[in-house]
Amino acid sequence: MERHRFKFISLAISLAAALFILLYPLRPLDAGAYEFVFWYPGGEGTQKDAEPIIAAFLNYIKEKTGYEIRGRYINKTDEGIKYIKAKRPTFGIVSWITLEENKGKLPPYKEIAATLPLPHGTDKEIFTIVGKEGWEKGSELLLASSIPISPAFFKKYMMPELDKEVTITETSSIFALLKELSLGNARDKAVLLTPMEMHTFSNLKVDWKGGLRVIQRLKPIPTARLIYFGDDLGVADRLIQALLAMQEEKEGVEILGELRLKGFLPLHHTP
């Protein structure tokens, strides 16, 4: 009798365990580490340069969530698309410009939080055109930018009132170009500065800066987004809770500062 009772209890436990697995399948973490891509086309540095900062960020998240996460920094558009298609990362922090410019080229994802970048610390950012008098003359605007921006994106989101064609050239030497403009070279161009670049420019103490002026502050656009390629929003919520805690703790604030972030703003309700 006891033997039959034991078998019945064992069977019940086995059925309950099987039902639990069916209803609550193992998260990808149990099969290995998550992948987290930091994708900022036109951004500074290399993967090697970014590794210490990314490691500190992901180690902090691991302490709060238990998640094992590998990180990758990419600052080229094509490389980012190839990486995401091949590796299928779980999370990413990606510039909003890049997301909009490459719709349809990426696997499905959810925008789960907005970054709050320094120096302004809000979920909108304003780019600024800096140049010399007369830059806007002619039938076409010639701009230079450190990040890849298409004319179509620029006219739709940043300067919708523009009634002429625009050409935007990408450059890795934005401040060298500003100096050239100030000294009278390439007078037919102006420079499109990111908020951080504008902050740096405003604090420059150099003689040649006097030859330039702020021409226009453009329409605000959303900041970089924290995106999630998975389906289990519980996984995403747990990460968001860790990030919210991060901006309340000294260690977390220091790590965020290295990433030039004040913090994150959730874009959906968390439990």
pLDDT over threshold 60, residue 101: yes
CA 20-27-114 angle, 5° bins:
130
Q: Are residues 37 and 62 in the same domain?
A: yes
The whole-number pLDDT of residue 169 equals 93
Q: What is the mean pLDDT of residues 23-44?
A: 69
Query: 6: burial class by Cβ within 10 Å (0-12, 13-18, 19+)?
Result: exposed
Collapsed DSSP state (helix, strand, coil) of residue 216 = strand
For residue 54, what is the domain's CATH number? 3.40.190.10
Position 139 confidence tier, pLDDT thresholds 50, 70, 90: confident
Residue 2: inside a domain: no
Which residues constitute the domain of residue 253?
Answer: 28-122+222-266
Pairing of strands 124-125, 190-193: unpaired
17: in domain: no
Q: Into how many domains does the chain fold?
A: 2
> Is the residue at 13 inside a domain?
no
Cα separations (Å) of 126 from 122, 198, 269?
A: 10, 10, 27
- 213 and 232 both lie in a single domain: no
CATH classification of the domain holding 187: 3.40.190
Residue 12 within a domain: no
Q: Identify whether 198 is part of a domain.
A: yes
Shared-domain flag, residues 114 and 243: yes
Indicate the pTM of the whole model: 0.83
Domain shared by 212 and 229, yes or no: no
**Contact yes or no for 167/140 (Cβ under 8 A):** yes
Closest CA to 255 of 68, 95, 55: 55
Q: Work out the pLDDT band at 211, boundaries 50, 70, 90.
A: confident
What's phi and psi for 117, nearest 5 deg? -75, 150
Most confident of 54-58, 133-137, 230-234, 265-269: 54-58
Is the CB of residue 77 less than 8 Å from the CB of residue 71? no
Average pLDDT of 75-80? 96
Lowest average pLDDT, out of 26-30, 74-78, 185-189, 193-197, goes to 26-30
* Claim to verify: residue 214 and residue 231 sit in the same structural domain: no
- Label residue 14 by pLDDT band (50, 70, 90): very low
